[in-house]
Structure 1
Amino acid sequence: MNELSIGVILLIVLFTLLASGTWVALSLISVAAVGMLLIGNDSFGLIYATTTWGTVSDWSLAALPLFIWMGEILFRTRLSKDLFEGLTPWLSRVPGALLHVNILSCGMFAAVSGSSAATAATIGKMTLPELKRKGYDDQMAIGTLAGSGTLGLLIPPSIILIVYGVSAEVSISRLFIAGALPGMMLILMFIGYTIFWSIKNKTRMPVDDTYYSTATKFQALLKLIPVACLVVFVLGSIYAGITTPTEAASFGVLGSLILAITSRSLTWDTFKSSLLGAVKTSCMILFILAGAAFLTVAMGFIGLPRMLAEQIAIMQLSPYMLLFFLTILFVILGCFLDGISVVVLTTSVVLPMVMQAGIDPLWFGIYIVLVVEMSQITPPVGFNLFVIQSLTGKNILYVAKAALPFFFLLMAAVVVITLFPEIVTWLPTTMTQG
């Protein structure tokens, strides 16, 4: 049985398991075991034990549960309410007005959360009822939240960038730095589209004559200072080379606890629930990473990565054509898997092709996160769509339709960084040289 036949069988097994509702991690482990049996290797138990231990004991992963816990703590504080109240006076006269609160709040919360789902859920719980009460267009309110919620995957500290850095053996600090400019570019693109939409659809915008004095605006600005300090402290220490991502994550947890205590929103129950939430999420991600590592080794034994790389070389695809087909692949996978699963499942197979095509793995990390962001708002299994559906009670297709313009904006962002890769590589290169 050749590599191609085995690959087809493994794909069928994988999608059968996923369609049956089997956990992603167990599906990956099962596919790897089937692959090893097909080539006559029955020592997969020993290989699984050694491979998974080597993967989950990687020190770089220590930052993962800490950043997740930081997001869980902030999820249960007054942070989101302070963001809304702090931004509202400044945005009241901008076309789109409070719709921009979704975008900017998600951008700021993403910088202390690292999670797309946590960003969408936290900001959505507070902004959607307020926007509905003030008479904003329901579909646009949902769309701005769905699109901006994906910023949690890209703006550092990003959980998925940590996972990619470990899987691809790329510096997590450099990935964090590389994600900053594309993240800011996306925020500006979302704001620009919202302004354009608001000007074209004035009849669907509420009339708000509320006057905010200069004193009121600066008083509201004070509410943004705590979260701004936390963002600057966590990310600034990484960018300046003072701390590693793991050390910065530890300080981030400490800072979020201080914020929660000073805002009087930290109780024993919220502390326990934040810790339990962080443990559950971290265990889920580590289990997926362990399964993906085992699958990577199994594919190495089978020879699938080598065969795929050889086939790509024979096809002589240009780097642009390779990225075009990979984009389609990732979006399709994103319809069935969450973002972290897509990254850990494909990195080992795709990276050799990418390296052979002369594509910078640092740039590719930001590219793959942008494409995974697209998949987060792609039905039927866009995670952000499910989060927002649970918040609004709307039909999943209604939410997907509302998010569609932002899907195309993310696609445009992928095209922009492909044509101008310096947007990704300039900052980490400059700071490294400095």
Structure 2
Amino acid sequence: MDIILAFSLIGSLIVLLFFGLWVFAAMLAVSIGGLALGLGMPIQQIGSLMANVIIRYSSSWELAAIPMFIWMGEILFRTDISNRLFRGLNPLANLIPGKLIHTNVLGSALFACISGSSTATTATVGRITTSELARRKYDESLSLGSLAGSGSLGLLIPPSIVMIIYGVLAEVSIVRLFAAGILPGLVVASLFSGYIILSTTISPEKVPADTSSLSLREQMKEVIHLAPIVSLMIVVLGSLYTGFATPSEAAALGVVAALAIAAALRQLTFAVFRDSLMGAIRTSCMVCIILIAAGTLSTTMGYMHIPANVAEFIGRLHLSPIALLIVLSLFYVALGLVLDGFSMIVMSVPITLPLAMAAGFDPVWFGVYLVLMTELAQITPPVGFNLFVIQGLTRAPILRVALYAAPFFGLLCAAVILITAFPDIVLLLPRVLFG
């Protein structure tokens, strides 16, 4: 098989997706077609092969963390935690140039620590900040753009569902990946806040005049509203990094803690429990079926020797590590135009990870790099999920939201350059914590 076969398989997948076929169905169709037509494999053998893939991926213990983290986020989404988050951040954000626009960044960073999902982070934080910032006459472009960019922190700051998927596919320690995402997450959040400070300093009219009349004591009382989020962070991340719990066990502890917090706030009704559980089941089933389809596609590519052929083809180009990274970055930006971030990772890892490792990139570093590229896809039209969430919250046209998010797209690109120039931003914490 040569490189043409690889492009044919990927091209077929993109065509099917372009015509609206579901992601998992498109991957299964291409897999079955490749095995049957490309290799002449009998249908019985294809069925047996798919059964083995289903068993291998669905029985992975690490994947048990995914529905738990999703359920935890669903519970909090159906309580007034987002309102408390905004109230608690309000007095802190007022101290920074740009004022309440920073609640998008700070709120997303905090909620990302207990969510693991970019879409959930954007929806939960945006549900309160979009209406409040609009009511207070903050600049719409900066308000919606910062929310679109900051919502993607749900993928980078642990616990991250995408990191769990990458860890399973790449056979990399999930705890090390979680540790590797902390500093880059803080760097990205700092870049976003820095841009807000710069933009509002240059154009002060983007921020309304300060009308806050709260005393210092009243402001401190407002900060106490962050207690539910902070306590849940301590339970999940504390149990994880002290070695008390594995990622799956930490996720289960997080669900118990989320239920306890909802009960303490007197918001744990049967409807909240039922709706959160059903929401978690729907999302988890979607994630798992895409993962199984991606596993089938990866197996098909392996049988066709596509990863080896692509690696050999790129090897013949004699690219330097940086040149290879530029090619891969352009490839992922292009994929982000037609795929969501999760699908990008499960489809591409079997091909791109061996290339990256052959070029000398650490698999943990490459995982964080992939997450940053996935974040770019979250704010890239026409399928950027964060853009759709914000459109649903505000009714603003999707292209306008994408335009507002463009500066934050550039800042995410700057973050990729920073972790490439200074890889210890990614690798320092895993090395310090785990050796």
Is the structural similarity TM-score above 0.5? yes
Alignment of 1:255-270 (within 5 A): 255-270=257-272
Q: Partner residue of 1:157?
A: 159
Shift of 1:321: 0.8
Shift of 1:226: 1.8
Q: 1:115 aligns with which of 110, 114, 117?
A: 117
Confirm or deny that 1:11 pairs with 2:10.
yes
In the alignment, is the contact (CA less than 8 A) between 1:292 and 1:345 conserved in 2? yes
Task: State how far apart, in whole Å, the 2-side matches of 1:212 and 1:123 are.
Answer: 23
Which ranges in structure 1 are unaligned for 5 or more consecutive residues? none
Q: Sequence identity of aligned pairs in percent?
A: 47
In the alignment, is the contact (CA less than 8 A) between 1:335 and 1:375 conserved in 2? yes
Q: Is the partner of 1:381 in helix, strand or coil?
A: coil
Q: Is the partner of 1:343 in helix, strand or coil?
A: helix
Task: State how far apart, in whole Å, the 1-side matches of 2:371 and 2:92 are.
Answer: 31
Deviations 1:53-75 (A, max 9, x none): 11111111010110010011011
In the alignment, is the contact (CA less than 8 A) between 1:10 and 1:34 conserved in 2? no
Q: Partner residue of 1:40?
A: 40
Deviations 1:348-381 (A, max 9, x none): 1111111111110000000000011011101111
Q: TM-score, normalised by structure 1?
A: 0.98
Of the structure 1 ranges 202-211 and 96-105, higher mean CA displacement relative to structure 2 is found in 202-211
Deviations 1:380-419 (A, max 9, x none): 1111001111111111110001101100000000000000
Q: Partner residue of 1:193?
A: 195
Deviations 1:11-62 (A, max 9, x none): 2321221112111111111111111111111221110111121111111101
Q: Partner residue of 2:432?
A: 430
Which ranges in structure 2 are unaligned for 5 or more consecutive residues? none
Shift of 1:125: 1.0
Shift of 1:319: 0.9
Q: Partner residue of 2:140?
A: 138
Q: TM-score, normalised by structure 2?
A: 0.97
Instruction: Please give the root-mean-square deviation of Cα atoms over the aligned residues, in Å.
Output: 1.0
* 1:151 partner letter: L
Q: Partner residue of 1:215?
A: 217
Q: Is the partner of 2:399 in helix, strand or coil?
A: helix
Deviations 1:249-306 (A, max 9, x none): 0100001111111112221111111101100111111101101111111111111011
Q: Is the partner of 1:98 in helix, strand or coil?
A: helix
* 1:315 partner letter: L
Confirm or deny that 1:181 pairs with 2:183.
yes
Task: State how far apart, in whole Å, the 1-side matches of 2:262 and 2:374 are.
Answer: 31
Q: Partner residue of 1:353?
A: 355
Alignment of 1:66-77 (within 5 A): 66-77=68-79
Deviations 1:82-135 (A, max 9, x none): 011111122223210100111101111111111100111111111111111111
In the alignment, is the contact (CA less than 8 A) between 2:53 and 2:295 conserved in 1? yes
Q: Partner residue of 1:244?
A: 246
In the alignment, is the contact (CA less than 8 A) between 1:14 and 1:28 conserved in 2? yes
In the alignment, is the contact (CA less than 8 A) between 1:3 and 1:302 conserved in 2? no
Q: 2:320 aligns with which of 311, 318, 326?
A: 318
Of the structure 1 ranges 37-46 and 272-281, higher mean CA displacement relative to structure 2 is found in 37-46
Shift of 1:211: 2.9
Task: State how far apart, in whole Å, the 1-side matches of 2:430 and 2:197 are.
Answer: 31
In the alignment, is the contact (CA less than 8 A) between 1:89 and 1:216 conserved in 2? no
Q: 2:380 aligns with which of 361, 378, 384?
A: 378
In the alignment, is the contact (CA less than 8 A) between 2:338 and 2:383 conserved in 1? yes
Task: State how far apart, in whole Å, the 2-side matches of 1:5 and 1:98 are.
Answer: 52
Q: Partner residue of 1:27?
A: 26
Q: Is the partner of 2:40 in helix, strand or coil?
A: coil
Could you list the structure 1 runs, at least 4 aligned residues long, displaced by more than 4 angstroms after superposition: none
Q: Partner residue of 1:63?
A: 65
Task: State how far apart, in whole Å, the 1-side matches of 2:251 and 2:48 are.
Answer: 34
Task: State how far apart, in whole Å, the 1-side matches of 2:390 and 2:88 are.
Answer: 23
Q: Partner residue of 1:54?
A: 56
Count of residue pairs the alignment pairs up: 432
In the alignment, is the contact (CA less than 8 A) between 1:331 and 1:375 conserved in 2? yes
Confirm or deny that 1:363 pairs with 2:365.
yes
Task: State how far apart, in whole Å, the 2-side matches of 1:147 and 1:279 are.
Answer: 27
In structure 2, the CA distance between the partners of 1:160 and 1:182, relative to structure 1 (3 Å rule), is same
Q: Partner residue of 1:294?
A: 296
In the alignment, is the contact (CA less than 8 A) between 1:135 and 1:206 conserved in 2? yes
Task: State how far apart, in whole Å, the 1-side matches of 2:378 and 2:334 are.
Answer: 11
In the alignment, is the contact (CA less than 8 A) between 2:6 and 2:310 conserved in 1? no
Task: State how far apart, in whole Å, the 2-side matches of 1:374 and 1:16 are.
Answer: 22
Task: State how far apart, in whole Å, the 1-side matches of 2:198 and 2:4 are.
Answer: 51
